Amino acid sequence: MYKKKILALLLSSIVLITSACSKVAKKVENNISKEESKLTISNVDLNDPNLDEKWKKEPRYGKKLIINFDGGLCASSLGVAHAKGYFAKEGLDTEIINNPNPKDAVATGKIDVMVEHISTSLIPSVNGMNITFTTAVNTGCRTMFVLKDSNIKNTKDLEGKVVGVNGGIGSGDHNISIRFFAKDGVDQTKVKFKPVENEALIQAMKNGEISACILSDQYAKQFIDRGIIRAIRSITFDDDFKNEPCCVLILNKKFVEENPITAAKITRAHKQASKWLQEHKEEAVDIIEANNWGSKDRDKDIYFLKTYNFNVSDEQTLKSLNDIIKDYKKFKLIDNNKEAKNILKNVWMPIKQ
């Protein structure tokens, strides 16, 4: 009798344990299923016939989107996407503004979309700023210059010299400079950097305070034409950099997570505008001029648009981001313990191809 009671108790325990395990397994299975079915910008099917019904559930559905665009040629695909109706074709209501601090405004949700250089936005994103990249914008658009009569022929000659950087240490121009030096085998411990305002860089070279500096190609052209400066390194024209995207489309990260369909539509509209711009650069300048954007010099704007590639693939962008992260980790700009794949989960959110 006693053995029978023990056996019954054992059988009951087994039933209870089995039942509990089954419930736990089912719960885990359900959680995995939910995770797999969660809509993200990267798995949105923009050709889904039921997409509109899903889209209506997003917090920003039907609400105006604020696009930051300062009229610059590098980001002109944003202006084209708005002016030519690519955003409207996606059912998006957009307004163009020019915020003096767009990155902070995107991160805090005051504006929704902007374009900025990878060299100025990657590290803040890695360090927790609430921004992410969804597509490349263009190649170009900055170059390292010295005075035309300088005896400096290449970056190696800058060892023992001072390089001026607008924004100082950690700025985009500083980050571009050290990538040049790393590629060229320059001993960076022998190069000093000096913070100099952009408008004062040419004079600082003339005064002998600095020997070289990074300038935007557009700003530099007037000094090239007057025979004052010459290029020694460029992300626009040099073979080892010219295919890298310099700028990316930046959205608020939380916005992308909460509104994946809206974010995907923004990104697709921008991609379509970029493709059109790449193939119709002179017509694009007509739009730029009509909206009082650009430099107001038609020939100059056409020239520079032709130096940029606005049709950079997501594959090339991913490769470039991996290369830049690798370089930045070498320079200790990014924590070497952070794995690139984990960084990219947060900073790179492309749409489904």
Q: pLDDT of 93-128, one tens digit each? A: 999 999 999 999 999 999 999 999 999 999 999 999
Q: Is the pLDDT of residue 210 over 90?
A: yes
Answer for the pair 174, 166: CB distance below 8 angstroms, yes or no.
no
Q: Where are the domains of the chain?
A: 50-140+244-347, 142-234
Q: pLDDT of 299-353, one tens digit each? A: 999 999 999 999 999 999 999 999 999 999 998 999 999 999 999 999 999 999 8
Do the first three CATH levels of 50-140+244-347 and 142-234 match, i.e. the same topology? yes
Positive or negative, the CA dihedral 167, 170, 176, 178 is positive
| Residue 217 half-sphere exposure toward CB, CA atoms < 13 A | 23
- Identify residue 336 by its one-letter amino acid code: N
User: Alpha helix (H) ranges present in the chain?
Assistant: 2-37, 51-55, 76-83, 86-89, 102-107, 118-126, 172-184, 201-206, 217-225, 253-258, 260-279, 281-290, 298-307, 314-330, 340-347
The CATH homologous superfamily to which domain 142-234 belongs is Periplasmic binding protein-like II (3.40.190.10)
Nearest to 267 by CA among 136, 138, 97: 136
Answer for the pair 111, 102: CB distance below 8 angstroms, yes or no.
yes
Q: Is the pLDDT of residue 25 over 70?
A: no
The DSSP bridge pattern shows strands 245-252 and 131-139 to be: antiparallel
| pTM as predicted | 0.88
Q: pLDDT of 81-90, one tens digit each? A: 999 999 999 9
Looking at residue 16, what is its pLDDT? 44
Question: What phi and psi values does residue 5 have, to the nearest 5 degrees?
Answer: -65, -45
Positive or negative, the CA dihedral 126, 175, 197, 113 is negative
Helix, strand, or coil here: 340? helix
Answer for the pair 266, 65: CB distance below 8 angstroms, yes or no.
yes
Mean pLDDT calculated for residue range 229-243? 97
CATH number for the region 50-140+244-347 comes to 3.40.190.10
Mean pLDDT calculated for residue range 59-75? 96
Helix, strand, or coil here: 278? helix
Q: Which residue has the tokens 């009798």?
A: 1
| Residue 24 half-sphere exposure toward CB, CA atoms < 13 A | 6
Q: How far apart are CA 151 and CA 147, in angstroms?
A: 9
Nearest to 145 by CA among 234, 29, 258: 234
Mean pLDDT calculated for residue range 37-59? 96
278 burial via Cβ count (<10 Å: 0-12, 13-18, 19+): middle
Which two three-digit tokens encode residue 7?
């056996």
Looking at residue 10, what is its pLDDT? 41
Looking at residue 7, what is its pLDDT? 46
CA dihedral 267, 272, 274, 279 (to 10 degrees): 170
